[in-house]
């Protein structure tokens, strides 16, 4: 299967956004910190997600991103498709030229598998994932870790500000 880092990171970032955007827009820096994904990479992904109307950006102080619609209405296949990620499991890119310009013996098997994977991901929404207990536990752990890091950063700044010049 050719689901690469791009598709995995896009799904991870969108799930993080869905989990954290109920109160305020979520900054890419926060997603980057929680998910350990490069900020510049997230900017590229969110540019595509915005073009496909999966997210909206909020400008100004306290700005960031929100889902463009309810999490139950955003499906994983849409996210993967938005970042131009292939779910093709054939050797030939589903062109049918896998064996000397002709279809190979198992072309239809792998093509059908690609269709099954896409259908599977089309049936799972961000909302479905948000309700999974395992995902909630991971999100809670990441939130605690980020809160601790934020508190450490504030304490360090306060100590630096108080230090004699």
Which helix (H) or strand (E) is 137 found in, with range? helix 133-162
The number of residues making up the chain comes to: 165
Neighbours of 151 (CB within 10 A): 10
The pLDDT tens digits along the chain (165 residues) read 467 789 999 999 999 999 998 889 999 999 999 999 999 999 999 999 999 999 999 998 889 999 999 999 999 999 999 997 677 788 787 788 888 888 889 999 988 998 999 999 999 999 999 999 999 999 999 988 888 877 767 777 666 777 665
Cα separations (Å) of 55 from 6, 61, 62, 103?
17, 18, 16, 39
Residues near 28 by Cβ (< 8 Å), separated by ≥ 6? 39, 42, 43, 46, 64, 65
Q: Pull the structure tokens for residue 102.
A: 């002709």
Q: Pull the structure tokens for residue 71.
A: 């999490």
Q: Which residues are bridge partners to 26 per DSSP? A: 65
**pTM of structure:** 0.83
Q: Pull the structure tokens for residue 150.
A: 């934020």
Sign of the four-CA dihedral 82, 6, 48, 141: positive
CB-based contact 94:117 (threshold 8 Å): no
């Amino acid at each position: 299967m050719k689901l690469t880092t791009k598709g995995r990171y896009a799904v991870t970032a969108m799930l993080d956004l869905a989990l954290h955007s109920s109160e305020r827009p979520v900054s890419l820096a926060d997603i980057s910190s929680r998910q350990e994904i490069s900020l510049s990479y997230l900017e590229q992904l969110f540019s595509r997600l915005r073009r496909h109307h999966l997210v909206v950006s909020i400008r100004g102080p306290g700005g960031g991103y929100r889902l463009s619609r309810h999490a139950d209405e955003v499906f994983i296949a849409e996210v993967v498709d938005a970042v131009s990620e292939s779910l093709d499991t054939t050797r030939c890119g589903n062109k049918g030229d896998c064996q000397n310009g002709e279809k190979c013996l198992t072309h239809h098997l792998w093509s059908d598998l690609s269709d099954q994977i896409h259908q599977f991901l089309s049936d799972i929404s961000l909302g479905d994932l948000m309700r999974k207990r395992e995902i909630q536990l991971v999100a809670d752990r990441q939130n605690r870790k980020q809160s601790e890091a934020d508190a450490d950063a504030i304490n360090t700044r306060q100590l630096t500000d108080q230090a004699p010049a």
